[in-house]
Amino acid sequence: MRCHGPEAKAIVWEHNTHIGDARATDMADAGMVNVGQLVREQRGVEDVVLVGFGSYRGSVIAGAKWGAPTERMRVPPAREGSWEDVLHHAGKEDKLLVFTDAEEEDGLFEPRGHRAIGVVYDPAYERYGNYVPTVLPRRYDAFLYIDQTQALHPLHVYPRQDGEPPETFPSGA
């Protein structure tokens, strides 16, 4: 923004945990902040659009833990009562929810589990650890729901000159 002036626009592509406003999750209770919250605070709610993503089932490319090689993993059906489960049962078609006119009566302001899949994912934690309690229209301005995903085919990964894995590789750094 400093380089291109106050009218410049930017797109930041990040995992839901980073881009969704932390104040609409249990992250706030733990004293955590994230990019979505900071950008809304600094730029103003009306000048920021936060878009989240979710899926009921499918597959994903991720590492089982930090530093592990990426692998194709099955994503089981979403946990009962989660946002992904509710959207699946509302109709199996993909959906784009835009929350500009969301009302309390719509039932959207009820906190529900929202699946977190990122660079690291472990299907073994699906029942308990992979969900973040979320008020969807407060965390995001829009939400893209895809009923069934298919893992991407990873690009060729070349080590950096110093022998370290590339920055896009799951790591603890």
pLDDT tens digits for range 6-21: 888 888 888 888 899 9
* 99/159 Cα distance (integer angstroms): 42
* 110/113 Cα distance (integer angstroms): 10
25, 7 Cβ separation under 8 angstroms: no
* 149/115 Cα distance (integer angstroms): 13
* 106/115 Cα distance (integer angstroms): 21
Tell me the β-bridge partners of 152. Answer: none
Among residues 98, 108, 125, 131, the alpha carbon closest in space to that of 27 is found at 131
Q: Please report the pLDDT score of residue 82 as a whole number.
A: 95
- Domains (ranges, CATH) in the chain? 51-148 (3.40.1660.10)
Mean pLDDT lowest among 2-16, 61-75, 157-171: 157-171
Q: Express each pLDDT in 120-151 by its tens digit.
A: 888 888 877 889 899 999 999 999 999 999 99
Portion of the chain with pLDDT greater than 70, in percent: 91
* 13/49 Cα distance (integer angstroms): 12
